[in-house]
Amino acid sequence: MNTKSLVSISDIGRDEILSLLDTARHFEENPNRRLLEGKVVATLFFEPSTRTRLSFETAVNRLGGRVIGFSDANTTSSSKGETLKDTIKMVSNYVDLIVMRHYLEGAARYASEVTDVPVINAGDGANQHPSQTMLDLYSIYKTQGTLENLTITLVGDLKYGRTVHSLLMAMRYFNPTFRFVACQELGMPMEYKIFCDENGIRYTEHRDFSPEVINSSDIIYMTRVQRERFADIMEYERVKDLYNLNNSMLSGARENMRILHPLPRVNEIAQDVDDNPHAYYFEQARNGLYARQAIICRALGITINS
């Protein structure tokens, strides 16, 4: 496995996280730098995506590199039965870096083990989404001025939401307090609660998305109920609308509080929130470009001079 792969947020420690955030800041000041001249990056998306794929591809383009790849695996030889291993080994013949999203948990780790080319996990099932976490951390830092000692409320699908799993793990370095707001069926999985216990992370669990929870949060991180992960569609229908945020719920929020959402949203954030000063999810998505430029440069061993 290439040590520059980013498969899990646990692959990098506090210092590397902070270094990536600093690099992202440089890219926000100037995203157009020809640092990837002669490099080719593959974006292999076995699951749908708008932001992750397009921001990775924009990142490469703005850095002067080239992109190959697919957004629909049905158009590739995997539809003829080619294994993931063979696909990765073939693509490795052509490129300097692989960015992959896959519906199976562990697929990115497996891919990274069958190639010497660095692999960036762009989401593997309900497991991890580390590049999303870097843009989330960058967004939190930009809006709060710190990553330390924050109260972060995670709302919605905490079972299948890979972004909340990665974020929780990354925050272990920064003394957070988490609130988990979810119904019983979509609560934070036990393995992540054990992770919190082992790493001294405080958390409380809530069924109600109450004013007390909202008004004492620095970050409210909304998530979509992940329909594609449900085996039983009736179960999805039963839980999909349990947690919704609208403008009237925000009147007592802390001034610094910002609403994040990895997007896409369905109806868990009402449209009337979009113009509220607490809303930050569209800016958050824009931060993805800079965070991913930093991640790509790390993977390729490229340092930038501010």
Active site residues: 51-52, 80, 101, 129
> Least distance in Å: CB of 45 to ligand CP?
8
Contacts of 184 (CB under 8 A, 6+ apart): 207
- Closest Cα to residue 130, out of 4, 297, 6? 6
- Closest Cα to residue 162, out of 131, 118, 205? 131
Span from 18-26, 50-58, 180-188, 201-209 in contact with ligand CP (CB under 6 A): 50-58
Residue 151 DSSP one-character state:
E
Nearer to ligand CP, 201 or 219 (CB): 219
Q: Using the rule CB under 6 A, is 161 a contact of ligand CP? A: no
- Closest Cα to residue 120, out of 69, 194, 174, 181? 69
The contact pattern for ligand CP, residues 109-128, with x = CB under 6 A and - = no contact, is: --------------x-----
> Least distance in Å: CB of 181 to ligand CP?
19
- Residue 279 pairs in a beta bridge with 259
Per CB under 6 A, which of residues 245..274 are in contact with ligand CP? 262-264
Q: Using the rule CB under 6 A, is 50 a contact of ligand CP? A: yes
Nearer to ligand CP, 48 or 252 (CB): 48
> Least distance in Å: CB of 288 to ligand CP?
8
Q: Which amino acid is at 288?
A: G
Q: Using the rule CB under 6 A, is 13 a contact of ligand CP? A: no
Q: Using the rule CB under 6 A, is 132 a contact of ligand CP? A: yes
Pick from 2, 49, 61, 151: which binds ligand CP (CB under 6 A)?
A: 49
Q: Using the rule CB under 6 A, is 217 a contact of ligand CP? A: no
Nearer to ligand CP, 49 or 244 (CB): 49
Q: Using the rule CB under 6 A, is 131 a contact of ligand CP? A: no
Residue 275 DSSP one-character state:
T
> Least distance in Å: CB of 123 to ligand CP?
6
Alpha helices, DSSP H only, in 65-188? 84-92, 107-113, 130-144, 162-170
Q: Residue count at the site for ligand CP (CB under 6 A)? A: 9
Contacts of 3 (CB under 8 A, 6+ apart): none
Q: Using the rule CB under 6 A, is 52 a contact of ligand CP? A: yes
d(CA 62, CA 212): 44
DSSP labels, 186-209: GPPPHHHHHHHHHTT-EEEEESS-
Contact 106, 123 (CB under 8 A): no
Q: Using the rule CB under 6 A, is 51 a contact of ligand CP? A: yes
Q: Which amino acid is at 164?
A: V
Interaction site with ligand CP (CB under 6 A)? 49-52, 123, 132, 262-264
